[in-house]
Amino acid sequence: MSFPARRPRRLRRTPALRRLVAETRLHPADLILPVFVREGLDAPAPISSMPGVVQHSEASLLEAAEEARELGLGGIMLFGIPAVRDAVGTASLDPEGILNRSIRAVKARVGEDLPVMSDLCLDEFTDHGHCGVLTAEGAVDNDATLEIYAQMGVAQAEAGADVVAPSGMMDGQVAVIRQALDEAGHQEVPILAYSAKYASAFYGPFREAVDSQLSGDRRTYQMDAPNRTEALREAEMDITEGADMIMVKPATAYLDILADVAAFSDVPVAAYQVSGEYAMIEAAAAQGWVDRRGVILESITAIRRAGATNVLTYHAAEIAGWLHEG
């Protein structure tokens, strides 16, 4: 009887051997925690479609940031929800608006120990829910929106943001934000560009999280799901315009896109495990259909294996706690 000369199972025999040859590892610094802070709250408000995630009060936001620092997370990404919205997202530019004052407060709490990142988009601030200002006909006006994005970038940098993250998918957004930051003396503030952001059904719970006012969809500016090559073009454009990091969003259903982008990019590539991905795991686990911890770790490992330098995930703090347990 002949026996196999090559036996890959040898290296799977024990947990220690599997750990020895693991090609992908997770570390708290790989993870970025997205957080929502809502103006006017005096206590955290649970988000029903995202069990375990809340809209933070300004006080509880600081507690979450402190925990993220203690856990050694790679960063915290802030999304602000204002009390008053209008057609042009005026609150996004207010130095005392909910997002900018929260950036300042979190930065004062964590210092240089935790990168404070800020979402740079108008959707949370407009009364129509779109990521830009509208024309008289109701279309998103790309170039008029860019003017506001430039001002937002400067406002967030002056509030203390370590990283600004334009997510609106407007053509030319990285270039105008980079120019505005440089002209305002913020040459050292990096840009994390949402480069390949798809118009996805996986964003559903996020709409509740930010109390979105959107009617309709964002398909005229976010990418179309069938397209693969276009993602490379978008990422290449953002890098050329000055992006220091780029992102693919969503993550799990777009691992092919992530792998493509990571293969050619000479800047770090992040991926966002979005609200719908989070909610599906939590819903299945609540029914007892999957091993919650196992699926969470496997999903993040898959995103990292596909090429993500960092992963934005609502499970970030919990995963970091597990990793510290050993």
Show binding-site residues for Mg(2+): 234
**Residues 309, 268 contacting (CB under 8 angstroms):** yes
**Residues 155, 92 contacting (CB under 8 angstroms):** yes
Maximum C-alpha span of the chain: 80
User: Which of the residues 128, 197, 304, 315 is marked catalytic?
Assistant: 197
HEC string for 281-313: HHHHHHCCCCCHHHHHHHHHHHHHHCCCCEEEC
- Can you say whether residue 220 is alpha, beta or left, with left for phi > 0 and alpha for psi between -120 and 50 degrees? alpha
Annotated binding site: 207, 218, 234, 275, 314
Burial of 237 (0-12, 13-18, 19+ CB in 10 A): middle
Tell me how far apart the alpha carbons of residues 60 and 111 are, in angstroms, rounded to a whole number: 17
CA angle 159, 31, 65 (to 5 degrees): 40
Annotated binding site for 5-aminolevulinate: 207, 218, 275, 314
Nearest to 299 by CA among 289, 313, 286, 320: 313
**Residues 192, 245 contacting (CB under 8 angstroms):** yes
3-state secondary structure of 197: strand
**169 token code pair:** 């998918």
Tell me how crowded residue 44 is: count the other CB atoms within 10 A of its CB.
19
**245 token code pair:** 């990091």
Tell me how crowded residue 115 is: count the other CB atoms within 10 A of its CB.
20
User: Which of the residues 104, 107, 178, 249 is marked catalytic?
Assistant: 249
Burial of 2 (0-12, 13-18, 19+ CB in 10 A): exposed
Is 197 a known active-site residue? yes
Q: How do beta strands 31-38 and 245-249 pair?
A: unpaired
Q: Which residues are tagged catalytic?
A: 197, 249
